[in-house]
């Protein structure tokens, strides 16, 4: 320990090898002042939560890198790599398609495209929701080691699942080619649907992430709710099967309407106004609730994880 050299009392500032970027705190908003104090005012909390969300944009490359690393590590050393996802989805769709087309007395040509779309989209949704619950708790060591916008951890989960979804889209395309299906121009309506999904995905991840960091009983509850939703939502069964008398009930299931704004256009059907308004209402509620909860809990999450 004798090799310690005392630093100069008046530090000269040499050209730094790698300077810490100015304006890193809070999250690159162009200032290098970090001011922390409890914020009892709702308006202050909202402003800080918004600053965190903006930080997600500043650190977008980190979130993307995290998402890629997760995928790469999951399939490290395997020959097919992430295309195992594609293969397992293809097998599942083939097996379920054969069985349920017989059970529902439908031709494969009408049933299989529906089932493929439904399963791929639902898998995205249910995996996202499950992983959302742990988005902050699994990042515990990072959260406690450095100040990052919390939204980065939520973005990581959303982007990772988008990458998985992209691998599964291959199966959808393959089914469409095999059965020579072309949804037509109405398919363009999928774009607002996907935009809605993007916003909802981030909102639900922030909401569940914060909630589950505080209450560790939530993840199993969410798990069973999602399983229930799988059966009560027209995913493997076509919506028409409830019968014309009860068709009006379906838009009250937000899982159905959110699924339908993406699935409908790709099957060549424009979603009805009822479906759209239900999906938009559910999304608005989700976004408001998610933002409110995040604004309330943001400063506490580091203590909870």
With CB under 8 A as the contact rule, the residue among 44, 91, 144, 227 that binds another protein is 144
Do 157 and 206 touch, CB atoms closer than 8 A?
A: no
- The residue ranges of DSSP E strands in 194-274, in sequence order, are none
With CB under 8 A as the contact rule, the residue among 6, 30, 184, 243 that binds another protein is 6
For residues 67-86, which are near another protein according to CB under 8 A? 69, 73, 76
Both tokens of 289, joined, read 């609730």
The answer to whether residue 43 forms part of the interface with another protein (CB under 8 A) is: no
What region, left, alpha or beta, does residue 142 occupy, with left being phi > 0 and alpha being psi -120 to 50 degrees? alpha
Residue closer to another protein by CB (options 250, 301) is: 301
Q: List Cα–Cα distances, 228 to 73, 233, 290, in angstroms.
A: 31, 9, 22
Give the dihedral of Cα atoms 79, 125, 135, 157; nearest 10 deg: 50
The answer to whether residue 147 forms part of the interface with another protein (CB under 8 A) is: yes
- Residue with structure tokens 């049933």? 111
The answer to whether residue 56 forms part of the interface with another protein (CB under 8 A) is: no
CA atoms lying within 13 Å on the CB side of residue 246:
6
Residue closer to another protein by CB (options 93, 143) is: 143
Tell me which stretch binds another protein (CB under 8 A): 63-71, 92-100, 107-115, 180-188. Answer: 63-71
Minimum distance of another protein from residue 61's CB (angstroms): 6
Do 108 and 137 touch, CB atoms closer than 8 A?
A: no
The answer to whether residue 37 forms part of the interface with another protein (CB under 8 A) is: yes
Both tokens of 64, joined, read 């993307």
How far apart are alpha carbons 115 and 90 in whole angstroms? 11
Minimum distance of another protein from residue 285's CB (angstroms): 27
Tell me which stretch binds another protein (CB under 8 A): 21-29, 106-114, 116-124, 187-195. Answer: 21-29
The answer to whether residue 20 forms part of the interface with another protein (CB under 8 A) is: yes
- Look at residues 133, 157, 295, 139 and name the one whose alpha carbon lies nearest to residue 214: 133
What region, left, alpha or beta, does residue 149 occupy, with left being phi > 0 and alpha being psi -120 to 50 degrees? beta
Both tokens of 290, joined, read 């998610």
How far apart are alpha carbons 143 and 131 in whole angstroms? 17
Output the CA torsion sign for 114, 230, 188, 282: positive
Minimum distance of another protein from residue 35's CB (angstroms): 5
The answer to whether residue 41 forms part of the interface with another protein (CB under 8 A) is: no
Tell me which stretch binds another protein (CB under 8 A): 7-15, 191-199, 233-241, 244-252. Answer: 7-15
The answer to whether residue 220 forms part of the interface with another protein (CB under 8 A) is: no
Minimum distance of another protein from residue 57's CB (angstroms): 12
The answer to whether residue 58 forms part of the interface with another protein (CB under 8 A) is: yes
The answer to whether residue 38 forms part of the interface with another protein (CB under 8 A) is: yes
Residue closer to another protein by CB (options 12, 79) is: 12
Both tokens of 300, joined, read 């506490």
For residues 260-299, which are near another protein according to CB under 8 A? 299
**Site for another protein, rule CB under 8 A:** 1-14, 16-22, 24-28, 32-38, 58-59, 61-62, 65-66, 69, 73, 76, 141-148, 214, 216, 299, 302-304
């Amino acid at each position: 320990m004798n090799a310690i050299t005392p630093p100069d009392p008046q530090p000269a500032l040499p050209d730094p090898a790698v300077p810490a970027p100015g304006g890193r705190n809070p999250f690159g908003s162009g200032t290098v002042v970090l001011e922390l104090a409890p914020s009892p005012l709702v308006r202050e909390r909202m402003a800080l939560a918004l600053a965190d969300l903006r930080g997600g944009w500043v650190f977008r490359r980190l979130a993307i890198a995290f998402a890629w690393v997760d995928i790469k590590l999951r399939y490290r050393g395997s020959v097919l790599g992430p295309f195992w996802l594609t293969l397992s989805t293809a097998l599942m769709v083939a097996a379920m398609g054969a069985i349920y087309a017989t059970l529902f007395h439908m031709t494969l040509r009408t049933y299989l495209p529906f089932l493929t779309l439904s399963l791929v989209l639902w898998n995205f949704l249910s995996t996202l929701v499950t992983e959302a619950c742990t988005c902050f708790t699994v990042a515990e060591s990072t959260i406690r080691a450095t100040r990052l916008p919390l939204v980065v951890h939520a973005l990581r989960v959303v982007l990772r699942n988008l990458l998985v979804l992209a691998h599964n889209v291959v199966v959808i395309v393959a089914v469409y080619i095999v059965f020579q299906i072309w949804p037509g121009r109405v398919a363009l309506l999928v774009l607002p649907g996907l935009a809605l999904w993007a916003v909802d995905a981030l909102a639900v991840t922030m909401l569940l992430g914060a909630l589950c960091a505080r209450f560790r009983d939530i993840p199993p509850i969410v798990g069973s709710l999602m399983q229930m939703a799988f059966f009560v939502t027209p995913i493997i069964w076509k919506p028409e099967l409830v019968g014309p008398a009860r068709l009006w009930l379906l838009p009250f299931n937000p899982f159905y309407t959110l699924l339908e704004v993406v699935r409908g256009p790709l099957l060549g059907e424009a979603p009805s106004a009822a479906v759209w308004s239900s999906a938009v209402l559910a999304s608005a509620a989700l976004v408001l609730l998610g933002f409110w909860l995040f604004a309330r809990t943001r400063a506490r999450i580091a203590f909870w994880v």
